[in-house]
Structure 1
Amino acid sequence: MAPSKKNSLHEHITAVKKQERCFENAFQSVSRMILDQQIEKVIVNGKSTFDYRIFREGSKHIVGMYDEINSFVSFVKDASQGGSSKEMAFVLVGEPGNGKTFLVEYLCGMYRKFLSEPKNRRYTFRFKGLKQLGSYGNIDMVESQTYEDPMVLAMNLMDTPEESRKYLTRRYRLPDKTAELWWEDYRPLGACSAYIWNDIREFTGGKLDEMLKFIEIAPVPLTESLGTVTGKYPAKDKITSSAVDLLGEESIQRLLHITDTNNPYRFDLRRGALARVAGGGIHFSDEIYKNKKDLVQVYLGIIQNRMIEIDGYKWPIDTLIVATSNNAEFNRFMAEKEEAPIIDRCRICYVSHNTDYRLQEALTSYAIGHETKTTLTGEDLHQDPNLNYAASVGVALTRLPRSEKLTPIETMKLAAGEIAGEKSIKTLSEVIDTFNQETDVTKRFGQKGLGQRNLGRAMQLMLESSETNEGQCMFAYDVFKAFERVILDYVPETTDRAKFLDDLKTAKGLYRERIMTEMFNAYMDEPLAIRKDVFSYVNMIIGIDAENLGPDKMWKYKNPQTG
């Protein structure tokens, strides 16, 4: 065997046997990352579900999305246990601005952080000293193009997997259970790795100790900008995009060095997005159904076979494929019957808007921003303490479909887990179940409404208005004017527009009711009520002994916005 070095294959196999390093597929890694953290039981819309706390960490974390996250965790867990999910992609479908992309990018960020821990680190192997072979020109070192795990090389050391298993079992004294566990994740070497390994075998006369001197183990880079471990492929222009963006292509630079034209290393797989995440990574396909048909067909092969295939050469990949799509593109794609196979290979998860106005307050704070706001002239801008509430109620109501059993306010309160008169949470569950029977996804509960981007636009319109800048205040009531503008400008369907404007009237009523409640709290001598509620809404101050007062002995309040 080769000398025991930190970056040798021997050292790596020993570390895996001692469980100092991991050998697991992408599904197992993601599943372990999520399920090893705290899990809580919560009640959402009258039904019990799980809340995975790993998605709630950080200053800007996932808010809500309980059903979607549970679907994803179930999908990954099934795939990690060898279920049918391992031959599928997970696709999030929903209206624009409801958090699909944010969820996937948050997941990718978590995964990179998870893999940065020493025990979870991903490793690959390189072939070094290739100049000795004579057919590689000035290429002296070649790294596995698909970031194959060193254990995959270990399971392919000999001519057949059976021989390799016997060798490893004997050399490392593996218990049968460990060997069985390792071989559950067996896959052949990729075309170029297998070809180079065979060249090395011929050069050394099949002496394994000599062959292993050509091998070096290295960690897989976790840099996000390199697209390794987690990579995103956004849908591109249908004319300029091609399968090369996903799979790679023949490299002219390599052909200048490689004398053997049959060598599959002439293909540069890392030119494509898939090879960079093929070693236990996550591939994120943004707006997958916007791609042209031949690219979608490429995805079909990748999803089903987990294999990059170019000119008959094959490279197995270990990748979790997550995609997004908006409703319009998905429906258009579904209408084309010949595209049924790709849909069949996808686990579709319909993403609804957040309908809990309490949770929406966290999302609204994202839209408002945490920095201190200033006017266009640079003066500090006061933020109405009820701005978040008004905006949250406004958008939440637009997302709630009309029902005969519940009024919009009752639906909103029940969705937030509050009491709504005599109506119970069971009624809400029945209403949601009824809506979710609709074949048209857009008519299901929470599928239509003002999204997070529309909320952001409303905040932008508020900030640019003359009332806000002159009055130096983001007044809560002004958000409704901004919403009206957004609805008129960005909601194309007449029926939706009419409903949303009607919902805004309801939201205005709730806002007024809240102000009256706060004033009433002050009159009822609630501790700190004056400090908490009323200071923002004082209309006059009585000054009995002060000078320069009128006959009514009052200082009149002047609205800074209207004068």
Structure 2
Amino acid sequence: MEIRDNEQLGFHLAEVLSGRRNFENSAQSVSRMILGAGVKKGVRAGRTAFEFAFFRTGKKHIIGWFDEINDLVNFVKDAGEGGSSQEMAFVLVGEPGNGKTFFVEYLCLKYRQFISLPENKRYTFEFVNMDKLGLYGNIKVVQSQTFEDPMILAMNLFGSGDMSKEYLSKAGFVDKKIERLYNNHRPLGACTEFVLSDVRNYCDGDLDRMLKFIKIVPVPIAESLGTVTGKYSARDKITSSATDLLGEEDLSRLLNLTDTSNPYKYNIRRGAIARVGGGGIHFSDELFKNKKDLVQIYLQVIQNRTIELDGYRWPIDTLIIATSNNWEYNRFTAEKEEAPIKDRCRICYVSHNTDYKLQQELTKYSIGSEQKVSVTGENLHEDPNLNYAVSVAVTLTRLPHNDKLTPVEMMKLEAGETAGEKNVKTLAEIKEMLNASPDVTKRWGQKGIGHRGLGRIFQIMLSMPETHEGNCLFARDCFKATEREILDYITEAVDREKFMKDLDVAKKLYRVAIKTSIFNAYREDPDAIRKDVLAYVNMVIGSDSDQLGPDKIWRYRDPRTHEMTPIKIDERYIDSVETRLGLSTKERREAFRTTIRKIYGQKISTEPDYDFMDNEALVKAVTDVRLESDVAGAASLVGALANRANSENVRIYNRIIETMFKKLGYCPTCAQKTIEYFCEKVDES
């Protein structure tokens, strides 16, 4: 077999020297991939958080996971810099259905795409023309079983000593460059070393003749082959064996080899680890679910980064990432004799997503991007309130009950919103207290309805006859489906009771959203309440301005449009809103106004579009005041919508329905059902 010029070791060395090819370990490669996409500094729930753009790209990317991503990035970065992480595995521990597997598979997919780029391509080598040696029978090509880098071969070409360094120096590498190369030095694998020795003996140590047996080839990248990135899922204790990880003797090779001590008789690519041994990522799904002998194999692989069979060793370069659910992890750590493997793992506790705004993005994943169709073949409409309703419901189940904050206050603070006078520091204290628990299941966000449960909620909704009868996924039905999910899948009675209470809170928040939506429809403006809330805020800001004239008109620069905008200060409107808020004394009113001004000052500079719609109490008060002034209160609007016996009520009903169709995204089914729900006296705060 002829070796082309661009397949020779000398050509590869020249390419590395020029920078057109890379020589780096797996951690350095992954770190370069992540950090190369950019990093931004921000604040999440009162704490500094770094946003890594790498994890936010693609149609279906990672949502949330700020602390977990930060932990992984710093783990990989430390491993790439030669820190203690290079002898450890990164293990994600958390509830089932919180995205652990999705996260690792996303990383692996992106890494395969990264390695596929010409400038990042990985190379290995193989020995060709082996039939000339007369020692390998019909075997003509012997590949590096762990996809060793050609630079590893170059550093071991003459065994130990300085001859390999001299060879690199003659190839053009300066001393500092050689020193950097040797930071990633490791011995050749057992079979590679054995074959190289056979080639050396056959060529009488003549380097030029030896190089004619060595061919440089790209590392194959294929998810189905488990090369570069590979996954091993814990299996049944009977069917799993060490062979799945390490490989085994290959009878067909033994029949061809004249020397039975040749380690090439072992087909280590039969195992999952060797296939990612040349700068890849090994993903161990449910690590602690494996039987003990496999866990012990992992201990040796993690600590020494070697595959060992019958005393033969194959050093590997791989990043090891694993997952485990809480129950298996607690069971495993309860067995004290298993402490060494835990000591070799960087444990990252993964909570469910507890930000209801981010949850709405995750809920879109569960709903799916394809148009859903009813059993009769009609397109299914999605209620515009569905995503919000179900996202709030599942998020509340993940938040703990605490005396310092109500569930709604906790939910709002976690999402970066205001919660009256409650401070985000209180939320941070609650998190710190919960995360100090040795029991993983009692930590922040470790209980609740997960992503799989969310998927089942939509499956239950799709199985409801009323969904197909009206050709619409009506938002209120998600509460029935969530209740079914809780009763069928939550085994602990205490958790079931807690989740049911959370569901009641979610229904009340849904009620507030519907009230706002109906009034917006009545006003024929999707942003009517938002505009009224902002009007109140601007009046409060303007009432304290030195530039307010006797005509009570205040001019301000709109942070959204940057235009000067006049507004008339209506004290009656301000007082009415504050009365609805229960602010009975002058001191309490002034304190509330001071809070509004403070929030305005903090938010507007960084979030020009901030609209105070996260202040549930303020939104409800403004809605009630406008309903009172426009239709003599909610009761009157309910009466008009429920009793369409006269032409005026019919006109109001038709106007609201038309606005819901044309401007608010409703269909005939969910519009009618939403109005019926609005007219019922249920789920009131």
Fold in common (TM above 0.5): yes
In the alignment, what sits opposite 1:93? 93
Deviation at 1:378, TM superposition (A): 1.2
- Kept in 1, the 8 Å contact 2:92–2:347? The answer is yes
Tell me the matched-pair count: 549
- Kept in 2, the 8 Å contact 1:384–1:474? The answer is yes
User: In structure 1, how many angstroms separate the alpha carbons of the residues matched to 2:453 and 2:190?
Assistant: 49
In the alignment, what sits opposite 2:537? none
User: In structure 2, how many angstroms separate the alpha carbons of the residues matched to 1:473 and 1:253?
Assistant: 61
In the alignment, what sits opposite 2:206? 207
In the alignment, what sits opposite 2:133? 133
In the alignment, what sits opposite 1:546? none
Q: Does 1:415 align with 2:453?
A: no
- Amino acid of the structure 2 residue aligned with 1:212: L
Deviation at 1:135, TM superposition (A): 0.9
In the alignment, what sits opposite 1:144? 144
User: In structure 2, how many angstroms separate the alpha carbons of the residues matched to 1:374 and 1:112?
Assistant: 35
User: In structure 1, how many angstroms separate the alpha carbons of the residues matched to 2:334 and 2:459?
Assistant: 37
Deviation at 1:22, TM superposition (A): 0.4
- Kept in 1, the 8 Å contact 2:520–2:526? The answer is no
Q: Does 1:84 align with 2:84?
A: yes
User: In structure 1, how many angstroms separate the alpha carbons of the residues matched to 2:330 and 2:524?
Assistant: 57
Alignment partner of 1:389: what SS?
helix
Structure 1: tracts of 5 or more residues without a match: 531-537, 543-548
Deviation at 1:159, TM superposition (A): 2.8
User: In structure 2, how many angstroms separate the alpha carbons of the residues matched to 1:167 and 1:217?
Assistant: 17
- Larger deviation, residues 134-143 vs 432-441: 432-441
Tell me the alpha carbon deviations over residues 158-186 of structure 1, each in whole angstroms, 9 at most, x when there is no partner.
Answer: 132421112221x1232111000001111
1:256–1:469 distance in 2 versus 1, CA, 3 Å: same
Tell me the alpha carbon deviations over residues 473-503 of structure 1, each in whole angstroms, 9 at most, x when there is no partner.
Answer: 1000000100000000000000000000110
- Kept in 2, the 8 Å contact 1:285–1:323? The answer is yes
In the alignment, what sits opposite 2:252? 253
- Kept in 1, the 8 Å contact 2:26–2:317? The answer is yes
- Kept in 2, the 8 Å contact 1:4–1:10? The answer is no
User: In structure 2, how many angstroms separate the alpha carbons of the residues matched to 1:308 and 1:540?
Assistant: 77
Alignment partner of 2:192: what SS?
helix
- Amino acid of the structure 2 residue aligned with 1:15: E
In the alignment, what sits opposite 2:439? 440
Tell me the alpha carbon deviations over residues 416-460 of structure 1, each in whole angstroms, 9 at most, x when there is no partner.
Answer: 000111112112111211211222121111111000000000000
- Larger deviation, residues 269-278 vs 440-449: 440-449
User: In structure 1, how many angstroms separate the alpha carbons of the residues matched to 2:646 and 2:639?
Assistant: 14
Q: Which has the higher contact order (CA 8 A, sep 6+)?
A: 1
- Kept in 2, the 8 Å contact 1:155–1:161? The answer is no
In the alignment, what sits opposite 1:185? 184
- Larger deviation, residues 435-444 vs 398-407: 435-444
- Kept in 2, the 8 Å contact 1:79–1:86? The answer is yes
Q: Does 1:118 align with 2:118?
A: yes
User: In structure 1, how many angstroms separate the alpha carbons of the residues matched to 2:469 and 2:638?
Assistant: 19
1:375–1:499 distance in 2 versus 1, CA, 3 Å: same
Matches within 5 A, 1:109-508: 109-169=109-169, 171-508=170-507
Tell me the alpha carbon deviations over residues 364-418 of structure 1, each in whole angstroms, 9 at most, x when there is no partner.
Answer: 0000111111111211111100100001000000000011110000000000000
Deviation at 1:310, TM superposition (A): 0.3
- Amino acid of the structure 1 residue aligned with 2:43: I
Structure 2: tracts of 5 or more residues without a match: 530-636, 655-667, 677-685
Runs of 4+ in 1 over 6 A off after TM superposition: 538-542, 555-563
TM-score by length of 2: 0.78
Matches within 5 A, 1:60-79: 60-79=60-79
Tell me the alpha carbon deviations over residues 305-358 of structure 1, each in whole angstroms, 9 at most, x when there is no partner.
Answer: 000000110000000000000000000000001100000000000000000000
Alignment partner of 1:6: what SS?
helix
Deviation at 1:521, TM superposition (A): 3.2
1:10–1:559 distance in 2 versus 1, CA, 3 Å: closer
Alignment partner of 2:399: what SS?
coil
Tell me the alpha carbon deviations over residues 235-259 of structure 1, each in whole angstroms, 9 at most, x when there is no partner.
Answer: 0110111000000000001111111
Which structure has greater helix proportion? 2
User: In structure 2, how many angstroms separate the alpha carbons of the residues matched to 1:465 and 1:272?
Assistant: 47
- Kept in 2, the 8 Å contact 1:129–1:140? The answer is yes
- Amino acid of the structure 1 residue aligned with 2:101: T
User: In structure 1, how many angstroms separate the alpha carbons of the residues matched to 2:645 and 2:304?
Assistant: 86
Tell me the alpha carbon deviations over residues 76-132 of structure 1, each in whole angstroms, 9 at most, x when there is no partner.
Answer: 011111100000000000000000000000000110011011111110001000000
- Kept in 2, the 8 Å contact 1:191–1:313? The answer is yes
Alignment partner of 1:431: what SS?
helix
1:379–1:4 distance in 2 versus 1, CA, 3 Å: closer
1:527–1:269 distance in 2 versus 1, CA, 3 Å: closer
User: In structure 1, how many angstroms separate the alpha carbons of the residues matched to 2:93 and 2:23?
Assistant: 32
- Percent of paired sites with the same residue: 60
In the alignment, what sits opposite 1:545? none
- Kept in 2, the 8 Å contact 1:4–1:11? The answer is no
Deviation at 1:540, TM superposition (A): 11
How large is the RMSD of aligned CA atoms in angstroms?
Answer: 2.1
- Amino acid of the structure 1 residue aligned with 2:283: F
In the alignment, what sits opposite 1:35? 35
Deviation at 1:550, TM superposition (A): 6.8
Tell me the alpha carbon deviations over residues 17-69 of structure 1, each in whole angstroms, 9 at most, x when there is no partner.
Answer: 11110000001001111111111112112101101010000110000000000
In the alignment, what sits opposite 1:102? 102
- Kept in 1, the 8 Å contact 2:302–2:344? The answer is yes
Deviation at 1:289, TM superposition (A): 0.6
